[in-house]
């Protein structure tokens, strides 16, 4: 009786092993493996790719952003908002001077973007149209090449009212990035001074960069 049970058991295990081995060689198993690998890869990429290459997701009450200034007079700046690159060298919509994106802070839609060209000079009478101080509007700015000679005091005053604490210190060929909104003192600002002792590219400093989660405005 015991022997019979043992034989049945061994036979069952052997049959199951053969079936399993056969199954591993079937297309069906290959398909399951491929699907599992696909899901794993997808999971991996969802985990790793954050908006604007941040290291973590922003809370729902915030927008992801990353702003890079130009590098010397060679590589244009880039402005990323909520995972979309709005202005960049690659998109060919940046230029020497101030590159500015304005966003509706309540819903994150892009209101407008402009390049204030350093070479053509500042169109004085359209300046206040270009950067209005509208409560709730988020303003993102990246410098490219030299911006010190093209910024009238009127523009600097507007940027101070949007939360800049460094704009009045910008000197010849400094690189500068900024994100702000009226009524705040912005923590999203970086100024890299042009200093021949520390410059990365001869006559130009390293690019400036800020990134992080910007609070939604209402």
Ligand X SMILES: *[C@@H]1O[C@H](CO)[C@@H](O)[C@H](O)[C@H]1NC(C)=O
**Taking contact as CB under 6 A, which single stretch among the options 66-74, 84-92, 100-108, 197-205 is the one that binds ligand X?**
100-108
Least Å distance, CB 133 to ligand X, is 15
Q: Does 43 bind ligand X (CB under 6 A)?
A: yes
Among 6, 10, 20, 39, binds ligand X (CB under 6 A): 39
Among 17, 26, 40, 185, binds ligand X (CB under 6 A): 40
Nearest to 99 by CA among 143, 157, 146: 143
Q: What DSSP designation does 53 have?
A: G
**Taking contact as CB under 6 A, which single stretch among the options 103-111, 117-125, 174-182, 185-193 is the one that binds ligand X?**
103-111
Among 12, 106, 128, 149, binds ligand X (CB under 6 A): 106
How many CB atoms are located within 10 Å of the residue 112 CB? 11
**Taking contact as CB under 6 A, which single stretch among the options 9-17, 35-43, 72-80, 84-92 is the one that binds ligand X?**
35-43
Among 50, 51, 62, 104, binds ligand X (CB under 6 A): 104
Least Å distance, CB 110 to ligand X, is 10
Among 21, 107, 119, 196, binds ligand X (CB under 6 A): 107
Among 109, 126, 128, 198, binds ligand X (CB under 6 A): 109
Q: Does 41 bind ligand X (CB under 6 A)?
A: no
Sheet holding 110-117, edge to edge: 110-117, 97-104, 137-144, 175-181, 188-192
**SS3 assignment for 82-151:** CCEEEEECCCCCCCCEEEEEEEECCCCCEEEEEEEECCCCCCHHHHHHHCCCCCCEEEEEEEECCCHHHC
CB 83 within 8 A of CB 100: no
- Closest to ligand X by CB, 26 vs 43, is 43
Q: Does 36 bind ligand X (CB under 6 A)?
A: yes
Any idea which residue has 């910024």 for tokens? 151
What is the rounded CA–CA span in Å between residue 51 and residue 213?
10
- Closest to ligand X by CB, 104 vs 156, is 104
Structure-block tokens of residue 210 = 């800020």
**Taking contact as CB under 6 A, which single stretch among the options 25-33, 77-85, 99-107, 121-129 is the one that binds ligand X?**
99-107
Taken in order 175, 74, 131, 147, is the CA torsion positive or negative?
A: positive
Query: Would you tell me which residues interact with ligand X (CB under 6 A)?
Result: 36, 39-40, 43, 104, 106-107, 109
């Amino acid at each position: 009786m015991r022997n019979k049970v043992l034989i049945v058991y061994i036979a069952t295990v052997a049959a199951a092993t053969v079936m399993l081995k056969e199954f591993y060689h079937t297309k069906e198993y290959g398909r399951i493996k491929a699907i599992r690998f696909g899901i794993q890869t997808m999971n991996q990429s969802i985990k790793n790719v954050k908006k604007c290459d941040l290291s973590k997701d922003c809370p729902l009450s915030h927008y992801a952003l990353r702003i890079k200034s130009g590098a010397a007079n060679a590589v244009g700046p880039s402005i990323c908002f909520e995972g979309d690159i709005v202005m960049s060298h690659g998109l060919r919509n940046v230029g020497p001077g101030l590159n500015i994106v304005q966003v509706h802070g309540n819903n994150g839609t892009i209101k407008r973007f402009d390049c204030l060209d350093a070479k053509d000079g500042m169109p004085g009478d359209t300046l206040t149209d270009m950067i209005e101080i509208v409560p709730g509007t988020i303003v993102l700015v990246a410098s490219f090449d030299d911006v010190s000679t093209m910024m009238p005091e009127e523009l600097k005053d507007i940027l101070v009212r949007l939360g800049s604490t460094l704009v009045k210190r910008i000197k010849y060929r400094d690189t500068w990035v900024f994100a702000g909104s009226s009524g705040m003192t912005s923590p999203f600002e970086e100024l890299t001074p042009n200093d021949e002792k520390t410059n990365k590219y001869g006559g130009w400093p390293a690019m400036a960069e800020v990134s992080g989660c910007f609070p939604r405005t209402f």
